[in-house]
């Protein structure tokens, strides 16, 4: 094991071994990565205020509670003024950065609205608030327009880098095309975004080897940021039919932490988010992720009224807290994990800065 902790790079077999660890060996692995990562990256953790501003979606991913075909999902779309106020809240509370997320739409009413919103947020926060967006697959022209309007990071999760598995969790059609998704990631990089992706861990039919391949995919793609967490089934989705072959929730949680630690070894200078889904399984889930490799946390600052409706999975935590409660609770949690908050810092991915010679 010790030899794996100092290797320059790791093979598929070595990663599979680390991802599948259990018991005392696993404890040793996680603790060692935690210590090593403080030495290289320091103790700083960065806040990204998360605004899930709309759950209207034109797509039909088999695992997602807000998929187009789920008629039981209560749809909402927060008005621009409320989004700008949430951004001002993030700025005043020294979050440094904001994440705007919604279901996927690519009509011009939507894309132009986002362009104007980005400009308005930049203006309302003196250009000081960093903006990450997570708005799915778009044309190069739209990605470029949003970049020029002020967004500088983009999250587009691949969910699984294994094509066969991808089509077990998405319909195999033009709207859910595996190659398109990869091309979108490449386009985002070409434009100059700090580019993030991620996967779900513990999907039905998924193997340790496929998870190891996911980590190698992040490295091959030269990704700057990763957000990944346990798969949590939603009753009103097609994937729920496979609930009986899922790993127990605790195993999905444990393997998620193993994945974070293994990725930290493989890519020491990227940003890794402590996904909210971890907390849905273990109340201290995100803090544990911070101990073992994650360095970004995303307090939910979506106006509380709508938070319960953005349920990609069920039992999502913190859906009934106001933004201030969420922020206070997280500050304490970060300190409990032995980390420090980088207040008012964008917290750019060091990997990106190294590749580009500067932050954007």
Binding residues for [4Fe-4S] cluster: 57, 61, 64
Q: Does residue number 239 form part of the binding site for ligand SF4 (CB under 6 A)?
A: no
What are φ and ψ of residue 16, in 5° steps? -60, -40
Which of 10, 16, 29, 67 touches ligand SF4 by CB under 6 A? 67
**Which of 168, 236, 235 lies closest to 204, judged by CA?**
168
Cα of 87 vs its chain's centroid, Å:
19
Size of the site for ligand SF4 (CB under 6 A): 10
Contact window for ligand SF4 (CB under 6 A) among 13-21, 59-67, 243-251, 294-302: 59-67
Q: Does residue number 316 form part of the binding site for ligand SF4 (CB under 6 A)?
A: no
Which of 34, 130, 136, 229 touches ligand SF4 by CB under 6 A? 136
For residues 15 and 216, the answer to whether their CB atoms sit within 8 Å is yes
> Other C-beta atoms within 10 Å of 268: how many?
16
**How many residues can be counted in the chain?**
360
Nearest distance, CB of residue 269 and ligand SF4, angstroms: 28
**Which of 9, 5, 6 lies closest to 28, judged by CA?**
5
Cβ-based nearer residue to ligand SF4, 64 or 182: 64
Which DSSP symbol is given to 236? T
Find residue 297's DSSP bridge partners. 47
In the annotated binding site for (3R)-3-methyl-D-ornithine, the residues are 134
Q: Tell me the two tokens of residue 358.
A: 């500067």
Nearest distance, CB of residue 357 and ligand SF4, angstroms: 33
Nearest distance, CB of residue 159 and ligand SF4, angstroms: 8
Nearest distance, CB of residue 241 and ligand SF4, angstroms: 17
Q: Tell me the two tokens of residue 43.
A: 């103790």
Q: Tell me the two tokens of residue 334.
A: 């970060």
Q: Does residue number 59 form part of the binding site for ligand SF4 (CB under 6 A)?
A: yes
Cβ-based nearer residue to ligand SF4, 14 or 60: 60
The secondary element (H helix, E strand) that includes residue 297 is: strand 296-297
What are φ and ψ of residue 204, in 5° steps? -60, 145
Site string for ligand SF4, 176-215 (x = CB under 6 A): ----------------------------------------
Residues that bind ligand SF4 (CB under 6 A): 57, 59, 61, 64, 66-67, 103-104, 136, 312
């Amino acid at each position: 094991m010790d030899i794996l902790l100092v290797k320059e790079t790791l093979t598929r077999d070595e990663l599979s071994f680390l991802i599948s660890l259990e018991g005392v060996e696993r404890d040793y692995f996680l603790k060692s990565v935690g210590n090593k990562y403080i030495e290289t990256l320091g103790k700083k953790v960065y806040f990204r205020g998360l605004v899930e501003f709309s759950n209207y979606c034109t797509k039909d991913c088999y695992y997602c509670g807000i998929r187009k075909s789920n008629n039981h999902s209560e749809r909402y779309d927060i008005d621009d003024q409320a989004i700008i106020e949430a951004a001002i809240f993030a700025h005043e509370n020294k979050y440094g950065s904001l994440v705007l997320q919604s279901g996927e739409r690519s009509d011009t009413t939507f894309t132009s609205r986002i362009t104007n919103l980005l400009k308005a947020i930049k203006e309302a926060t003196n250009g000081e608030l960093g903006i990450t967006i997570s708005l799915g697959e778009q044309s190069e022209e739209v990605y470029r327009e949003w970049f020029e309007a002020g967004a500088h990071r983009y999250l587009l999760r691949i969910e699984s880098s294994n094509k066969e598995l991808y089509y077990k969790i998405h319909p195999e059609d033009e709207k859910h095309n595996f190659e398109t998704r990869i091309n979108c990631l490449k386009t985002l990089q070409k434009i100059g975004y700090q580019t993030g992706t991620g996967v779900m861990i513990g999907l039905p039919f998924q193997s340790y080897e496929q998870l190891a391949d996911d980590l190698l995919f992040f490295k091959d793609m030269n990704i700057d940021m990763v957000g990944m967490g346990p798969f949590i089934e939603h009753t009103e989705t097609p994937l729920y039919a496979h609930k009986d072959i899922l790993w127990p929730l605790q195993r999905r949680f444990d393997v998620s932490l193993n994945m974070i630690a293994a990725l930290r070894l493989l890519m020491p200078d990227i940003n890794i988010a402590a996904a909210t889904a971890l907390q849905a399984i273990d109340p201290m889930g995100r803090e544990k992720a911070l101990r073992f490799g994650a360095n970004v946390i995303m307090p939910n600052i979506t106006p509380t009224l709508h938070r319960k409706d953005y349920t990609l999975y069920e039992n999502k935590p913190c859906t009934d807290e106001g933004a201030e409660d969420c922020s206070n609770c997280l500050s304490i949690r970060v300190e409990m994990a032995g980390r420090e908050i980088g207040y008012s810092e964008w917290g750019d991915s060091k990997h990106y800065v190294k590749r580009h010679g500067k932050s954007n």
